[in-house]
Structure 1
Amino acid sequence: MQLALGLTGTDAGIQQLVKADAVKPLCRLVSDVNTIARDAIHALVNITATYPGACEAALKYDIVNRLMNQLDTDFVHKDLSMMLLANVTTTLEGAKALVDRDAKYKVREVILQKLTMLFLESEPEPEGVDPSTGEPKWDDDYQYIANVLANITQLEEGRDFLLQIRKSMTPPQALVQVLMPQIHSPNVVRRRGIVQAVRNLCFDSDNHFFLYDMIDVIGHMQKRLAGPEPLEIDEKNGMNAMVLECLGPKKKRESDVQVRQAAVECLLLLCASRNGRNILRQRKVYPIVRNAHLVESNDEVSDQIYKLVDFLIRDEEGDEPDWDEIRAKSLGVDNEHLPAPPAPKAADEPFESVLDKPKPKKQVELHDEEVDDNCAAALANEINILDVSSSEEEDDVPPLAP
């Protein structure tokens, strides 16, 4: 397994393993003992991050249910499992496999809710600085749940998962309500995933009143976009206490471009109705985004802020604008579908999508080494030998335990 894992450190190695159909036995080894399962999952993380077709192959071998079975045990490498779950749910089919209302959905829902609560209860611990990006590194076993939640909210079923009022919570509330503080987490993986999940919730105009009235999406996005610039008293009049408390010369504006973009798009989507635009005006969104626009270095984010400002300062005479037209103009989407996430990119490339692609740690670095077809086939055969159940097990994973 170590040699096979090492091959996933290069594109050439990954291509040869895929060609040798190593994905199937690797998926089966996910259910093996800890050490073997860990290496199999690590290899699949690297493969699915680099080769989009591997996500489809992994889904064929029921990787989602295998991972959910494993995550409901005392498996010690849950961070890798959730990274793989985040990778395969990037695709629409992968997201459907997790939230599809099939016979196993209720069990998956319970496990996913449990993982979400563990995500909320855990705190990221500093673990140095990533030399390639300069970003802080975090010891955070549950961080990739944020990516999974962003992925499943591409679908109505996933949005329902976050918006459903859960009587088991005290007081009864929706998961999104308790997830909102994660938008301000020091861990950028958490911030990106949750703000992008909330952005996806904003695509349903029926949710808007709940989002800005019950969970103050507007205030949370203002807090991410606010900077140290001073504001006049009348520019603050109407802002929520959460926003007012964060203002001042020491306030740092959100540093991550993906978080800033998703925050602006949340506000832009809330402009779908006249009432929504009036609420944004009353909460004094304009001075915050005006100052953000003056210092924004990313052209795409700057363009989105410009569109938002246009909605906020326009006259409100005449008929109500068409919601579908607003969506098309603002975000370039059609009338029925959320933006489809791009195919997963290689682990060492920046990922720009509805979610942040986890960057798997490469176990072994191979420098521009061509992998012999026979060698790759032999390795795939070795993996099959490790998969002692492969001759007895059906293609489908055993049912999730109730």
Structure 2
Amino acid sequence: MEKLGEFLKSPSAKIRLQAIQGVFSHTGTNEGIKGIKILIPHILKLVNDENLEISTTSINALINSCVDPNLCTSLSKSSTIDKVLKNLQVVDLKNNKIGKKNHKKEVIVSYIKANLMLLMNLTREETGCKKLLNSQIEQISNTQESNKNQKKKQNKNQKNTKKEKTTETKNKPGSVILQLIQKLFDPERLKEHKNQKKDSQKTLQEMSDVNVYLVNVLMNVTQTVTGRLLVIDFMRPAIKDLFLPYIMSKRSKVVVRQTIIGLIRNLCYEKDRHVVMANLILPYVMARLTTKEMIEVLDEEDYEKFPALFFQFMKQNRLKIETDHKCRKWLVECLVFLTGSRTGRDLLREIKVYYVLRELDEIEEEEDISEQIYQYVQIVNLDEIGGSTNKQVVPLDELKISKK
């Protein structure tokens, strides 16, 4: 292995490629991963290699190595996340470029997927989340881009502009994630969803693997308070115009719905944003927990205060109970998390979400979901019965936020 490490440092790209391919071949087993641990410093240096095949192969080797929990934690504490972000920031999807070189689209997609998969693995734990949120690599990129634009527009005050830009963006947690969203999600698609007519039933194109990985990273980041506030306060248009429609889309794969609902569920944990989240997601959550037939059996006074968008879905025959167990459970838990604040409970009572859950409970066959429905009812009723209940209510803190 030590000799292999020497080859990884070779000035010859051909030799480096053969060496890292040899390393990658050892990462298919636990024993192999243990054997290459001493090569990790050398592998990390190749993550940003100018040769795209070398860089991608080294990243894939690290992805496989994350099977070892200790090694994964160690990587999350190192400079690995900054190296990955540096790779993602030089990607030009519009012109199929990475840096100044042109590449085939499939090569670029594989490169991005590898970087995001590694980022996804490294942010499973809080250490990696904090590392990503506090990364300053985005500020460097912003400054460089700003300077280039300034050169085109004017030659005056260039140094002052650089200092001002650096000062403005310094110590703003999570700004790098905002940039990734803008870069990797097609702006035209966001614009398309935003401009759709309200009565449109147009189905969405399937979300790409690249974007699913990015949403997974967001879901991991929302394990932290900083991450949740960042997504709620600055990514609301993306949640509303891109993510939530996939919950309703007939073409969405289960893995896409799980990832998006898991993200939404985590956001509902943030008590200070319960009103914002409730107004944003309730029509979608309620629509995936009931059917038109179930609503029609209710008295009008039971559903008269349902959200307007919910009735729009109803008219379009888009009310459909989520079939995936995990998705359905997490949808109910979105509602349970929203009961964590008094304002959340008041709003849920006003909208009368209870009637949707009551009808769902009549046909629900999964015991754990029925328990969550019971949990919701008990918590919502606490305000009305003086804070006491006949049965033990599970503390919200025991309902852990989700991570892939």
| Structure 1 length-normalised TM | 0.67
The answer as to 2:114 corresponding to 1:80 is: yes
Identity among equivalent positions (%) equals 27
Using the TM superposition, give the Cα deviation of residue 165 of structure 1 relative to its aligned residue in structure 2, in angstroms.
Answer: 4.8
Separation in 1 of the partners of 2:347 and 2:208?
39
CA distance in 2: counterparts of 1:38 and 1:145, whole angstroms:
17
8 Å CA contact retained: 1:219, 1:242: yes
CA distance 1:87–1:331, shift in 2 (3 Å): same
Is the counterpart of residue 316 in structure 1 residue 316 in structure 2? Answer: no
Contact (CA 8 Å) 1:270, 1:277: kept in 2 or not?
yes
Deviation at residue 316 of structure 1 after TM alignment:
0.5
Would the alpha carbon gap of residues 104 and 39 (structure 1) be closer, same or farther in structure 2, given more than 3 Å must change?
closer
Q: CA separation of 1:34/1:290 partners in 2, compared to 1, >3 Å: closer, same or farther?
A: same
Amino acid corresponding to residue 38 of structure 1 in structure 2: T
Q: Between Structure 1 and Structure 2, how many residues are aligned? A: 311
User: Is it true that 1:208 corresponds to 2:274 in the alignment?
Assistant: yes
Instruction: Give ranges in structure 1 of 5+ residues lacking alignment.
Output: 124-136, 167-172, 334-338, 341-353, 357-402
The answer for the alignment partner of 1:40 in structure 2 is 58
CA distance in 2, matches of 1:317, 1:109: 42
State the distance in 1 between where 2:118 and 2:229 align. Answer: 23
Q: Can you list the C-alpha shifts for 1:133-159, whole angstroms capped at 9, x where unaligned?
A: xxxx97432211111111111222212
Please state whether the residue corresponding to 2:312 is helix, strand or coil.
helix
Distance 1:228 1:54 in 2: 50
Superposition RMSD on alpha carbons, in Å? 3.4
- Give deviations 1:277-317, integer Å, cap 9, x for gaps: 23223323223222333444443333212211333456704
**Which stretch has the larger CA shift, 63-72 or 202-211?**
202-211
Q: Point out the structure with the larger helix share.
A: 2
How big is the shift at 1:274? 4.3
Partner in structure 2 of residue 360 of structure 1: none
**Which residue does 2:305 correspond to in 1?**
238
- Give the direction of change, closer, same or farther, for the CA distance of 1:165–1:67 in structure 2 (3 Å limit): closer
Q: State the 1:229 CA deviation.
A: 4.4
Distance 1:257 1:13, change over 3 A: farther
Residue 141 of structure 1 corresponds to which residue in structure 2? 210
How far the C-alpha of 1:89 sits from its partner, in A, is: 0.4
Residue 271 of structure 1 contacts residue 311 of structure 1 at CA under 8 Å; is this kept in 2?
A: yes
TM-score scaled to structure 2, two decimals? 0.66
Give 2:245's aligned amino acid. Answer: P
Task: Report whether the alignment pairs 1:284 with 2:352.
Answer: yes
- In structure 2, do the counterparts of structure 1 residues 243 and 114 end up closer, same or farther at CA, with 3 Å as the change threshold? same
Counterpart mapping for 1:74-223 below 5 A:
74=91, 75=98, 76=108, 77-100=111-134, 103-104=136-137, 106=139, 109-121=174-186, 139-165=208-234, 176-178=239-241, 179-184=243-248, 186-213=252-279, 215=280, 217-223=281-287
Q: Which amino acid aligns with 1:65?
A: D
Closer/same/farther in 2, CA of residues 60 and 250 from structure 1, 3 Å limit: closer
Q: Secondary structure at the match of 1:238?
A: coil
**Quick check: which has more Rg, 1 or 2?**
2
Deviations for 1:21-73, whole angstroms, at most 9, x for unmatched residues? 2333222221112101111112222221x221122221343111000000011
Query: Against the structure 1 CA distance between its residues 79 and 239, is the aligned structure 2 distance closer, same or farther, given a 3 Å change threshold?
Result: same
In structure 2, the gaps of 5 or more residues are: 1-19, 92-97, 99-107, 141-172, 190-205
After superposition, the Cα gap between the structure-2 partners of 1:243 and 1:318, relative to the gap in structure 1 and judged at 3 Å, is: same
1:228 shift after superposition: 6.0
- TM-aligned CA distance change 1:290 to 1:47, over 3 Å: farther
**1:85-144 CA distance string (max 9 Å, x none):** 0110011100010012x6546458444213213454387xxxxxxxxxxxxx97432211
Change (3 A) 1:257 1:8: farther
Q: 1:300 to 1:114 in 2, by over 3 A?
A: same
- The amino acid across from 1:29 in the alignment is L
Shift of the alpha carbon at 1:160? Answer: 2.6
Cα distance change, pair 158–320 in 1 and its aligned pair in 2 (3 A): farther
> Is residue 41–residue 80 contact of structure 1 (8 Å, CA) maintained in 2?
yes
1:4-15 to 2 correspondence within 5 Å?
4-15=23-34
The equivalent of 1:257 in structure 2 is 325
Bigger Cα displacement from structure 2, 86-95 vs 252-261 = 252-261
For the Cα contact (< 8 Å) 1:195–1:259, is it kept in 2? Answer: yes
Whose RCO is larger (CA < 8 A, sep 6+)? 1
